Structure 1
């Protein structure tokens, strides 16, 4: 009975923290969506629009290795609290600037940069903090809840932002975001949680730079984890190429309102996948095989999305793809949470986030020019490939070059995943790498 009570308390504590982070996540992404629209409406420049994305992602990638070292030195709960508080201050500053009529584009770039830096501390600290909140057998359920929060955010944030922009404008959304940060801070501040004291013998011997490098050395010593990280990063790059060009592909066939509907339906698919993750609990077995199987299915759905200029086919493929997404991302997180020692999780999670996160900007740099300058001209109505077997299979005209890239990325996803499965270090990762010993927060 005592064990059951303790487990209930641990899950209650996590659930309260998770609810606060969910509310804050919705507010953050409402703000991001609204700022994107504000910048594009003010400038009409795709380059200025791209800089918003760049300032939101690149600082996080750059700061993550150092952030991970500090996360392992400091109290993780207070890192989350301070990061959330600073993010709230940045949002409040934007609200004040727009209220006084002084908001400029460069203010948004600066705020995005600072928010990205604080996010580089908050996200890996949150992942590492989860490990000390709940026992290992509950990590799949908890990871499913994290993925559920992301799917709710994907569905709710654009819809709410679109409605609120028309009623309370950008200033109101920024103030709501500040309020959601306060809600996220309440359980973190009020719950009586004290992290178990960790061994800091490594910290005492190593400098900051040596500790930062330690995360990489830790992975190198565990070939299965490193190989899996490389495979996951390649997958992120291939999927990133698809994400970058998904909107142009759909808009070549239909209207922006239909695009919004497809995004919403895709979010429902992600919601279902996350619900499966969170309700299946500790019944998940053979996590590596499940992740690789979901990657294979993802590659198949990407291929199907590009095969025909059909909105119905693209919508179905989108739903099925997002159904797999929480399984891949959630179980990948569980694998690292189980296999990485708690005292180094800050460094390792920050490093893995930086490596896999760098795949998305790389995809943006490569995929868009490839589609615009090579594939779209090849697949134009009068293009060199419009009459060959490829043109006969997938069609020609606007968007079919992007469709060809979809098919190529989907096939590469299938091939890379199958190759990864043939590598014993990945296939037998769970057998060869022991789980860490659970040390709950008291």
Structure 2
């Protein structure tokens, strides 16, 4: 019965994610078309990302102290109100870039509360043997977000920005109705509700203390953070790489191929559940992802880059699904919100770092060095070629090698291998 409840929650959440990703896409298009500034576009993206990173520990404390369904309802309503305000501004023809940035910040902060509550409830609804499947299905929304430009561009042409926002609010209403109507056991909503709670400031560090108390979990979180960094580097550079040798039409097709790869990975993980030894599976697919990243680099070929992007993104739900299944089964339910909030903050913090490092290095350092006659044309140029955009290809090559190194370290750590065995419970901090 609890599996059915999870399935209904997952379906409603996925539908709402579709609507939100479409709104994010069309607002991003509007910002870029209105300003013509990549910097303002990037600042709007960061405004939606940074509040979610900072809110992670606070979200964990709230999720472990209060009714988790109520937390999801309140934060989802706040996000919907910000979206509705944007819709009203569109209708009044008064929308400004700062409005979009503020709405993105509110949605980003609210989203981490929703995600933390969702992840904390999942292991209480799903048997441990099915956690890999559940986490694989949860990553389908990420694949849809990558593929959103294809559907979003069509809807933008047919219904306009206002129509897309209305569709987003409709999907929110469906998801909220499901969340309100589905009956969830009290132990799922508030595990260990009678336990005394420490002061809030001390509680903020409880998730980190709990993770550090378990051998292998800090290394696992560090590996996830490294994987997120590699993913961010690839994410910020793959579109400029494609545009260095192809036009916008090819870019749209290849972005759809990448999103299809992630969708396929989520579906496979949802059906398969991952290998029995989750750390071994995470290591193997992380190494496979490194190989696919390296394959972005040898030649400016749409076919090669499209296949490599789809292959890399296929590994993402498997890596994350295996890692989160281990975390959810090794962390006490009463502290799961705080621990997962900490994991989210640490992992997500690597994303803006990857964005801010990769693009300047590729644009100002390696691209000029790999032009004909450049400093690296006779060395690295033999691996990635010489010409426009080949500095980006070299960064992606190094990014793939970094992922292979992380996978090798994972395979070499005995504490991580021991996580594939049944753990001994640790008291809640």
Q: Which residue number corresponds to residue 256 of structure 1?
A: 248
Q: Which residue number corresponds to residue 198 of structure 1?
A: 191
1:432–1:189 Cα change, 3 Å: closer
Q: Which deviates more, 21-30 or 326-335?
A: 326-335
Distance 1:153 1:106 in 2: 23
2:365 is the counterpart of 1:374: yes
2:401 is the counterpart of 1:408: no
Shift of 1:188: 1.0
Q: Matches of residues 230-245 of structure 1 in structure 2 within 5 Å? A: 230-245=222-237
SS in 2 for 1:132: helix
Q: Which residue number corresponds to residue 4 of structure 1?
A: none
Shift of 1:323: 1.7
Distance 1:302 1:284 in 2: 23
Distance 2:336 2:318 in 1: 21
Distance 1:321 1:203 in 2: 45
Distance 1:219 1:203 in 2: 20
Query: Which of 388, 391, 394 is matched with 1:398 structurally?
Result: 388
TM-score by length of 1: 0.93
Distance 1:137 1:434 in 2: 17
Distance 1:238 1:194 in 2: 39
Q: What do residues 16-41 of structure 1 show as CA deviations (whole Å, max 9, x unaligned)?
A: 11111111000000000001000001
Query: Which of 86, 92, 117 is matched with 2:84 structurally?
Result: 92
1:416–1:139 Cα change, 3 Å: closer
Distance 1:202 1:377 in 2: 60
Q: Which residue number corresponds to residue 422 of structure 1?
A: 412
Distance 2:106 2:201 in 1: 22
2:297 is the counterpart of 1:306: yes
Q: Matches of residues 25-64 of structure 1 in structure 2 within 5 Å? A: 25-64=17-56
1:251–1:92 Cα change, 3 Å: same
Distance 2:227 2:109 in 1: 25
Distance 2:302 2:94 in 1: 43
Distance 1:30 1:200 in 2: 38
2:125 is the counterpart of 1:126: no
Distance 1:44 1:319 in 2: 30
Q: What do residues 151-188 of structure 1 show as CA deviations (whole Å, max 9, x unaligned)?
A: 24433x22221111112111111111111110101111
Q: Which residue number corresponds to residue 99 of structure 2?
A: 107
Query: Which of 64, 72, 76 is matched with 1:80 structurally?
Result: 72
Q: What do residues 56-101 of structure 1 show as CA deviations (whole Å, max 9, x unaligned)?
A: 1000111111111111001111111112111111111111111112
Shift of 1:109: 1.2
Q: Quick check: 1:21–1:184 contact (8 Å CA) kept in 2?
A: yes
Query: Which of 163, 167, 183 is matched with 1:172 structurally?
Result: 163
Hey, which bits of structure 1, 4+ residues long, moved more than 6 A? none
Shift of 1:14: 1.3
Unaligned residue ranges in structure 2 (runs of 5+): none
SS in 1 for 2:292: helix
User: What is the RMSD computed on CA atoms of the aligned residues?
Assistant: 1.7
TM-score by length of 2: 0.95
Shift of 1:210: 0.5
Q: Quick check: 1:338–1:435 contact (8 Å CA) kept in 2?
A: no
Q: Quick check: 1:90–1:111 contact (8 Å CA) kept in 2?
A: yes
SS in 1 for 2:245: coil
Q: Quick check: 2:326–2:419 contact (8 Å CA) kept in 1?
A: no
Q: Quick check: 2:150–2:252 contact (8 Å CA) kept in 1?
A: no
Distance 1:25 1:434 in 2: 36
2:319 is the counterpart of 1:319: no
Distance 2:137 2:307 in 1: 24
Q: Quick check: 2:123–2:131 contact (8 Å CA) kept in 1?
A: yes
SS in 1 for 2:204: helix
Shift of 1:133: 1.7
Distance 1:408 1:420 in 2: 18
2:149 is the counterpart of 1:158: yes
Q: Quick check: 1:77–1:129 contact (8 Å CA) kept in 2?
A: no
Distance 2:196 2:58 in 1: 14
Q: Which residue number corresponds to residue 338 of structure 1?
A: 329
Shift of 1:200: 4.8
Q: Matches of residues 337-356 of structure 1 in structure 2 within 5 Å? A: 337-356=328-347
Count the aligned residue pairs: 425
Q: Quick check: 1:273–1:327 contact (8 Å CA) kept in 2?
A: yes
Shift of 1:364: 0.9
SS in 1 for 2:71: helix
Distance 2:410 2:126 in 1: 31
